[in-house]
A and B are shown apart, each in its own frame.
Chain A
Amino acid sequence: MDKVQALKGTDIEKYEWLSPGDKNTNELLPASFQEIGKPGQVEVDTGSFVFNWSGTKKPLSPLIISKFFWQSEYEIANSADDKLEIFVAKSISQVPEVEYIIFSKIDNYYEIWTVINKLDREARDRIYDVEYNILERFRDNYFDFHVICRNDKSIEEICPTNAIIFYRRKA
């Protein structure tokens, strides 16, 4: 069997932002759309003039057109931030009771421990729903999910060997 892939310790800090309410907003589109002009009415200078009897020139009323100037940006994905582990952590961390997510990975075999503090069957059910969704969507990967209760122990006491803490909810 291959060696367990070591994920860098710095990942722990890096992905703390995944905590709901931090960057997981309900905002749609603004991040992926670039405003290149103010939407709505845009004044266009026609460059046309009329002259009155006194010989002075007077500009015509500017032409008003309504047009939306929205241009989609390219979607950018990268293999560091859009890897499957992060998608899994993002998904599971949507359950507010989740305090830690611990990973070990061998090739496309993932073992995932989701840590909550006290036994909470409702929270567990919501975590199971997320896990089921992940299983459905990534059938060509192998997942072994566990939900464990910390019961006020420190995370270091329950973190399995050869696994890393991939997500830690911000206090």
Chain B
Amino acid sequence: MMEKRTMINFGGRTVEATEVGYKGIKEEWNEYQADDGTVLRLKVVVSEIYRLDEYDQDSKPIYVIKSSNVLSSSVPEHLKKGAARVQ
């Protein structure tokens, strides 16, 4: 992908940035078991990466990532709506 110059909103300011292409190296699900027995799986899916014309305290350019969360759940039958509740 060709690098593309753009302006983005960063911390309330409009700053110059470069949209950079990328390829996924590793993109896995994070898995959590809730105490109620439900297994929750969360994945962050990156859609766009920007490099700002600004630098952090380590002199590295600041990157901004646009992403979505994808969350799936495996819920025990007894927690589903309409299931018989065991006291």
Q: List residues of chain A with CB under 8 Å of any chain B CB.
A: 26-30, 33, 35, 39, 68, 70, 75, 77-79, 82-84, 87, 90, 136-138, 140
Is the CB–CB distance between A137 and B27 below 8 Å? yes
Those 9 A-B pairs whose CB atoms lie nearest each other, nearest first: A77-B69, A82-B71, A79-B73, A77-B71, A82-B69, A87-B70, A28-B8, A70-B11, A79-B71
In whole Å, how far is A8's beta carbon from the nearest beta carbon of chain B?
Answer: 11
With A77-B71, A84-B72, A87-B70 as contacts: A30 and B24 at CB distance below 8 Å: no
Is the CB–CB distance between A39 and B11 below 8 Å? yes
The main secondary structure of chain B at its interface with chain A is strand
Of A30, A33, A68, A83, which contacts B71 at CB under 8 A? A83
Is the CB–CB distance between A78 and B71 below 8 Å? yes
Is the CB–CB distance between B9 and A79 below 8 Å? no
With A77-B42, A137-B24, A137-B27 as contacts: A30 and B70 at CB distance below 8 Å: no
With A82-B68, A82-B70 as contacts: A137 and B45 at CB distance below 8 Å: yes
In the complex, chain B residues whose CB is within 8 Å of the CB of A39: 11-13
Q: Which of B32-60 contact A (CB under 8 A)?
A: 40, 42-43, 45, 50
Among residues of A, the one whose C-beta sits closest to the C-beta of B12 is A39
Q: Give the complex CA separation of A19 and B83 in angstroms.
A: 36
With A82-B70, A137-B24 as contacts: A30 and B64 at CB distance below 8 Å: no
27 A-B pairs whose Cβ atoms sit less than 8 Å apart in the complex: A28-B8, A28-B10, A28-B50, A28-B64, A28-B66, A29-B8, A29-B9, A30-B12, A33-B12, A35-B12, A39-B12, A39-B13, A70-B11, A77-B69, A79-B71, A79-B73, A82-B69, A82-B70, A82-B71, A83-B71, A84-B70, A87-B45, A87-B68, A137-B24, A137-B27, A137-B43, A140-B29
In the complex, chain A residues whose CB is within 8 Å of the CB of B50: 28
In whole Å, how far is A45's beta carbon from the nearest beta carbon of chain B?
Answer: 24
